[in-house]
Amino acid sequence: MKLFNIKKLGLIATTAVALLTGCKTDFDINASEENLSAGSLNYRDVLPSSIASSAKIVAADWKFLQNWMGYWARSGNYQNDNEEETYNFTNTFPTSGGNPWNDLYYNASSYNYIQEKAKASGDGFYEAICRIMKTQNFQLLTDVYGNIPYFQALKGNDVRNPKYDNGKDIYKDLFLQLDTAIALLKSPAAAASANSKIATNDLVFKGNATLWIKFANTLKLRMVIHCQNGIETPTSVSGIDYAAIMSGINAEGTGFLNSGETAKINPGFSASKPTPFYRFFAINENGVLAGLADLTKANAFAVGIGTATRPGYYRYNADPRESKFYVRPDVNASASVYTARQYHKGIPYGAVSGFAPGYGGDSLSAINQINATSPNTGLTPNGASSDAWLMTSVESLFLQAEAAQRGLLPGVDPQTALTAAIRESFISLGLTAANANTYINGNAGYADVDYTAVGDPTTDNLVDGGLYTIIAQKWFALNGIAPFEVWSDYRRTDIVYGEGVSYNSVNNPAYFWATNLSVLSGAASSIPVRLFYPQSEYSFNEANVNTQGTISVFTSKVFWDLQ
């Protein structure tokens, strides 16, 4: 296995945003922590750059999922992306917007280095943060790739060719890692006096142990929810003691991330060092339209095709969040002042370049600011200076609503929790609770918004509310924010987005321009349920990766996907 020397971290650790624009080659998952040492570099000062890198991964590594889940699509000005859009993958996918395998392992190695140094020095706060952030990295890796090297990963020259571990075993250990982190945060080892510069180097919560514990508990809840399957016939992965985990969270007493408690960073983002989502999907540090912004436009499933009679899913529900996630096309793109068209316009995902007039970049809704006079989206309300997120309060509240619905949070009313989550989504995007209430009341009787809805056979809508409503509303709320979470929901529940209001290709084909959930017509009957292991593993860890057998992105499911 090729050894990746990451001493260069020492050169950039003093600038937290430096990693946001860096490029990396194949990463050896056993890169030794001693290779991180760099002269006078203090391991504590590596933490800001590691956190900044985590924020970049969350914001920018998942373009392919944004497309698959019906949010974004390729502009008609560009030729199709054969792998992504036809699902004929190689082991090098994805090639644009970031590489989750490389980026997550690289980031985990950085946290591992800090964790080991902090543990040896008694810096409990630093150690706890690194355990929590490593957990998020390995949870994402497991969810995307299934079985992965974990217990022998990041061991350096001691283990050059790590074996692959079962995803369920990894999840079980991740729960334990979070327990250890929480115990550290509650111990004297987390005192500020024992953790030099923690308030400065902790870009997320500025040394607030309570909020880090809430983050850890919310990660636990995310993993518990991933192991819950189905909607009409709920079930769960066997072999994990959910009652004990949830009881432990309740006994610990700190709770989850709640309203206004998003895990986010802003180490001084600016036009010259923009927040990652803005840098990749709006205006880059050179002040010009980013390449992915020009390529990536709104999906017709989400926003329709720019006419009054063919709305997208958001407008179909009169959802004002549509104009918080997208920027409408300019009436005259060559004019000096932006003037918005009346309706949003998207392109069917996978459409052949030039398939119809008027589906080029300037004619389509953008996913972020398109020029100096157009508005920013709700995800980057302050443009390049906006915050970057690691996990939002919105996601946390939806996780709590589902947990309540599935009986995992006794005493919490799931409908009340869902309403709180929807309101938080609106507020976080710059709308109001009153806007959310209007939206909920205006969709009474429709299962994708109304928790109490009962399917109406006269409209071919046989879907009831309840759990379906919670999962459907997460789709509306996590656009651009956590597509990996929406993809997880799709896999573990087999939800048909749009079915709750007959907005799908079966019940209402007249409205529907893309086959369900952006599956390219004729390419496959469903979207992939995982990714291939990267070619670097077959080159440098061949014996171990081959123990996983022949991988299919359609049938080799991760351990919690029972549908």
Cα 186 → chain centroid:
29
Q: DSSP state, 375?
A: P
Structure-model confidence comparison of residues 83 and 106, the more confident one: 106
Mean pLDDT of the chain: 88
3-state secondary structure (DSSP) of residue 454: coil
Render the burial of 379-413: b for 16+ CB within 10 Å, e for the rest.
bbeebbbbbbbbbbbbbbbbbbbbbbbbebbeeee
Contact, 426 vs 321, CB < 8 A?
yes
Strand partners, 461: 456
Question: Residue 97 has what pLDDT?
Answer: 67
Could you tell me the CA-to-CA distances from 98 to 279, 498, 553 in Å, in that order?
A: 13, 29, 19
- Summarised one tens digit per residue, pLDDT across range 470-510 is 999 999 999 999 999 999 999 999 898 888 888 876 666 66
DSSP string, 27-78: --TT--GGGG--TT--GGGGHHHHHHHHHHHHHHS-HHHHHHTTSEEE-TTS
C-alpha to C-alpha distance for 452 and 415, rounded to whole angstroms: 8
Q: Is 119 exposed, middle or buried (0-12, 13-18, 19+ CB in 10 A)?
A: middle
Amino acid present at 3: L
Given the candidates 3.20.20.140, 3.30.1490.100, 1.25.40.390, 3.20.10.10, the CATH classification of the domain at 9-61+98-226+530-548 is: 1.25.40.390
The whole-number pLDDT of residue 524 equals 64
**Which element (helix H / strand E) includes 104?**
helix 100-121
- Lookup result for tokens 């308030």: 199
Q: Which pLDDT does position 523 carry in this prediction?
A: 56
As a whole number of angstroms, the distance between CA 509 and CA 372 comes to 38
**Residue 2 pLDDT > 60, yes or no?**
no
Helix axes 467-477, 393-405, angle to 10 degrees: 170
Bridge partners (DSSP) of residue 148 are 165
Is omega for the bond preceding 94 within 30 degrees of 0, making it cis? Answer: yes
Max CA distance (Å), the chain = 73
Per-residue pLDDT reduced to its tens digit, 544-555: 999 999 999 999
pLDDT at res. 85: 82
Domain limits, the chain: 9-61+98-226+530-548, 74-97+269-380+515-524, 388-514
Higher-confidence residue of 411 and 354: namely 411
Could you tell me what percentage of the chain is helix, strand and coil, using 3-state DSSP and rounding each to the nearest 5? 45, 5, 50
Q: Is the pLDDT of residue 532 over 80?
A: yes
Q: For the segment 264-288, what is each residue's pLDDT rounded down to a tens digit?
A: 999 999 999 999 999 999 999 998 8
CA 227 to chain CA centroid, nearest Å: 17
User: In the structure, what pLDDT confidence band is assigned to residue 512 with cuts at 50, 70 and 90?
Assistant: low
Domains 9-61+98-226+530-548 and 388-514 belong to one CATH topology: no
pLDDT at residue 214 is higher than 90:
yes
Query: What confidence score (pLDDT) does residue 513 get?
Result: 56
Q: What mean pLDDT comes out for the span 217-229?
A: 98
Fold of 388-514: Four Helix Bundle (Hemerythrin (Met), subunit A) (1.20.120)
pLDDT at 509: 66
- What confidence tier does 3 reach under pLDDT thresholds 50, 70, 90? very low
Query: What local confidence, expressed as pLDDT, does residue 16 receive?
Result: 38
Residues 452-470: pLDDT tens digits?
A: 999 887 776 778 999 999 9
Higher-confidence residue: 419 or 335? 419
pLDDT tens readout for residues 229-257: 999 889 999 999 999 999 999 999 999 99
Res. 29: pLDDT tops 70: no
